[in-house]
Amino acid sequence: MSADALTRHALPPQSIGGKHASNAAEAPPAGPVVRWVTGEAHHRLLRDFTGERTGFVRVSEKGYFLPSKFATEMPHFVNFQPRATDTWVVTYPRSGTTWTQEMVWLLANDMDFQTAKSVDLNERFPFFEFNCFIHEDTKREFLEENAGDPEMQKEVLAMAVPGYRLLADMKGPRFIKTHLPFTLLPKNLLTCGAKVIYLARNPKDVAVSFFHMNRLIRTQGYNGDFETYWNYFQNDLHAWTPYWSHLEEGWQRRTHPRMLFMFYEEMSRDTPAAIRKVASFLEKEPTDEQVASLADHLDIVNFRKNRAVNSQRLFELGIMRKEEEGFIRKGGVGGWTNYFTPELEAQADRWIAENLAKTDMRFPTFPS
């Protein structure tokens, strides 16, 4: 389906009054405006993304695209109480999130590699809104598939616990991962004393990595090709889009003293320098030896083998498809060239140029 056709069939974020998808929960009475994606776009999305069974919504005047459950859960996220001791990592997906989480956690916890290797990152650094992506029907399927193992069923149920509920009960400094834009986060996040790290990455590499992730994890269950996927992404018909609005919200806050804005490309090019920059923001002073040890720990070859970060347990639970590439992929820059046809690349370049013309943000480039 063409990009223009996808756009025509989407419910515009500013439109008023449309009816929601069948069997969907009503939008909450307060908070950012919620509009349901309807018509042909609704049916195509449910066909191509089999993890969601009800439908999708656009939230706020910017039209952030999220699964149906977010419509009723939203007040819990926007009214969540952050703490001065919190550290948040905010990204559009597949921008180096997991890598940055591990870096942040180890720096903040005095290089406690033993705990980092023995306690799953999702437990140390909860995903704020992941429960919204676990539809009740898919959760029921995961439970049925693990019927012979009560412990595995318990893990499935634990994954569906809302992050806001889990975090409310956590003691001491909390580490929180989210892909929500600032519009949908607590308004006092940057004024309560918390530290926030925002990471951005070139949209072509983001899309390729997120394409694989959407094929890998059954809560998304994408079953189409890359070109179709790119058109969903470009036309803001995919989770957490609009991509450019998301980045611009982070970019506009980059000078706030409680905020650190970084580019994945810079971090990947010089990991020790990135470690020192993040450490300074966290008010930590690692030794050169500690920086070298952390850089080695974060090396993509070692990272991919690390069970505490590679989501291996999700494969064992059947939530990730064993036939797909793993959760930790190549971690490089420029891998998109293997996925874009010349025509699709030209389309993407026009889209990127149009959006960069609206901002002074620029992705870093380096000589090859």
pLDDT higher than 80, residue 304 = no
Q: Are 348 and 246 contacting, i.e. CB atoms less than 8 angstroms apart?
A: no
pLDDT of residue 305: 77
Single-letter residue type at 276: R
pLDDT of 309 over the 80 cut: no
310: confidence class by pLDDT, cuts 50, 70, 90: low
Percent share of the chain, pLDDT over 90: 76
209 vs 203: CA distance, rounded Å: 10
Residues 192 and 84: beta-carbon distance below 8 Å = yes
Domain assignment of residue 49, yes or no: no
Residue 18: pLDDT over 50: no
CA 250, CA 272: separation in Å to the nearest integer?
24
Q: What is the DSSP letter of 183?
A: G
In a domain, 2, yes or no: no
Is 181 part of a structural domain of the chain? yes
| 269 in a structural domain | yes
Q: Is the separation of the CB atoms in 25 and 71 below 8 Å?
A: yes
Statement: residue 270 has pLDDT above 70: yes
Instruction: Tell whether pTM > 0.85.
Output: yes
Banded model confidence at residue 334, pLDDT cuts 50, 70, 90: low
In-domain check, residue 196: yes
Residues in the chain: 368
Cβ contact 234:346 at 8 Å = no
How many structural domains are present in the chain? Answer: 1
Asked if 157 and 315 count as a contact pair (C-beta separation under 8 A), the reply is no
29-53 tens-digit pLDDT: 457 899 999 999 999 999 999 999 9
Q: Confirm whether 70 is domain-assigned.
A: no
Banded model confidence at residue 330, pLDDT cuts 50, 70, 90: low
State percent of the chain over pLDDT 70: 87
- Sign (positive/negative) of CA torsion 361, 363, 366, 368? negative
CA dist 178 and 86 (Å) reads 13
pLDDT in tens, 341-356: 999 999 999 999 999 9
Q: Give the Cα separation of 298 and 364 in Å (integer).
A: 21
Report pLDDT for 79.
96
- With respect to residue 166, please indicate whether it lies within any of the assigned structural domains: yes
Cis peptide before 126 (omega within 30 of 0): no
CA proximity to 240, closest of 98, 93, 101: 93
The residue among 34 and 1 whose pLDDT is bigger is 34
Q: Is residue 30 part of a domain?
A: no
Q: What is the pLDDT of residues 358-368, one digit of tens each?
A: 999 999 987 65
CATH code, 342: 3.40.50.300
- The boundaries of the domain holding residue 350 are 86-356
- Describe the chain by its helix, strand, coil percentages, rounded to 5: 45, 10, 45
Mean pLDDT of the chain: 88
Report which listed range, 9-13, 21-25, 204-208, 248-252, is most confident.
Answer: 248-252
Q: What is the dihedral of CA 365, 176, 236, 349, to 10 degrees?
A: 0
